Amino acid sequence: MKKNSTTSNTREDQIIPWVNYDKRDDKEDFIVLDSSFPKYRWDNIKIKDKKEFFIWEIPNKFKDILQDYHFDFHTKKQSSIYDKLYSLIRNNYNFKNIDSILDEIAEDTAHFFIYECKRGNCRPNRYMYAVDYISRSSYNGEGIINLDIYTTDQFTFKFMTNLYNKLKSINNIFPVKNFGDINRLVPFLNSIGLGGFIIVRKEEKNIFLFSQLNRNINSSELCHFSYEKTFMPIDMEDSDDNLTPLQRCLFRALDKDNGITLDSLSIQVDYGICDFGLIYNERFEFEICSYIVINTNDDSVLEELRDRYLALANESKYRTLAMHFIDAEDISSFLKTYKATPESIEISKLLNTRLNIKLGKDKDKPIKVFISYSWDSYEHKKWVLDLANNLTKNGVFIFLDQYDLKAGKDMIHFMENSIKESDKVLLIMTPTFKDKVEKREHGTGYEASIITSEIFYNHDTEKFIPIIKEGERDKCTPNFIKSRIYIDMSNDVKYSSNFEELLRTIYDKPKIMRPPIGKRPLL
């Protein structure tokens, strides 16, 4: 992940201590800053001979995760990452509720950002600036400068954490016929409010065009275009009101009435693996949405694109997030004068306001718990139901088949979704439970497959709580959960004495807490 900010007011308490400002990647023409949050001062950047640029590299703790996918990408398993991403997109997100999903991601990430600031004994800059990335690359032997500008980058850190945890827990892979199936999602990703941009190259100069969809527009109306139709010239008869920002810009730039023909353009679509606009590439970088690169030496094409895009900014459906025509030699001065967008200012206010708010779950929002158990007998099902009722009375929201599964319901979807949405999962262990888990039989076996995968990829998780209901530990505990500390509720006495321990575990309120460390004595 790449993040930066711009300000001329340097404050010591704003410096994030875990940033390595001296790390240099000798393989590239830029300096790598290993951090996840905006810190470095753009006005300190010295561009020498157009060869030194600063980026933010993805945090170290994600590299092992990404390396797995990077390895797949460069071996015979190339299609697996596309399959997993497509499965994730298809099975885990309801596109009709995209705005609420993005809002939830933003809310979670704001809390996480504040936590990291407190942990590092620092505070955010006054404004979170949108300029976040400069890199130098080559194209046909020519130096190319890429500049990305967004306001949503400070919300991507927690999102990426969740994304890759979900990716690792996927068991059922939805088949993808070819990479084009993924590409067809790109126009949708560019239309849901995360932004889109076009890079125009003229010899060694670059012109950057940026736009963002107005969040008040219903995004579901803008996601029905095919990949080919979005990135290629479109029919003049298409309704102008139904165009995405990228379509609209290209449509007008390629208007034959203005003398621009396909012969003037060489259109190259440069994309990566996309999910909600996140692009993965070999340097472990993430960019928001895909982009179009137009290579041309025709000045009339550049002028037409400029004029048409300026006209687009005045239309009611779309608000221009940022639109800049920047030659490579002008980047340094641009960064010093770039102003914060309204969104970034509001985000900064939100973060600064919450710095002194105690972190943790919303007191008004119940903890969600899924109960996994085997149908041993009528009496056992009744015991599980009573446990669920008691937890519900104590403010816990319970996912339970006896509550939620009725005729016509999809049992597989219920199990997958309940485990995914739950804060904790209770495993009610009996000899029958162990037998079904290890034989992967019935619903219990399927739930165990999901849980085993999640534990394998996130060994430190405390989400899964073993509860002994019947039998000795070795005879009722599946191997995948054997090393975990359990709660014994195998008889009425132990149930009564350990129910409070279960509640404390669910609410993460241990009876004994580590006291704060005192000051070092003067010796």
- 460/458 Cα distance (integer angstroms): 6
Divide the 523 residues of the chain into consecutive groups of 10 and give the mean pLDDT of each group: 31 28 32 30 29 28 33 35 40 38 40 45 31 33 32 33 36 28 32 33 39 33 26 34 41 39 32 24 27 45 50 41 41 44 39 35 72 88 92 90 84 82 89 83 75 70 88 83 86 84 87 79 77
Q: Helix 78-92 and helix 156-169: axis angle, to 10°?
A: 110
Instruction: Supply the DSSP string of 435-485, one letter for each residue.
Output: HHHHHT-HHHHHHHHHHHHHHHH-TT---EEEEE-SS-HHHH--GGGTTS-
Residue 300 pLDDT: 56
- 379/446 Cα distance (integer angstroms): 23
- For 384, the enclosing helix (H) or strand (E) is helix 378-393
3-state secondary structure of 73: helix
Residues of the chain with CATH 3.40.50.10140: 367-506
Residues β-bridged to residue 488: 468
Q: What is the pTM of this model?
A: 0.35
Residues β-bridged to residue 199: 208, 293
CATH superfamily ID and name for 367-506:
Toll/interleukin-1 receptor homology (TIR) domain (3.40.50.10140)
- 301/304 Cα distance (integer angstroms): 5
Residue 383 pLDDT: 93
Which residues, 6+ apart, have CB-to-CB distance to 512 below 8 Å?
none
For residue 506, give the nearest of 356, 347, 410, 387 by alpha carbon. Answer: 387
Kindly tell me the burial class for residue 331, based on how many C-beta atoms sit within 10 Å of its own C-beta (0-12, 13-18, 19 or more): buried
Question: What φ, ψ does residue 173 adopt, rounded to 5°?
Answer: -95, 125
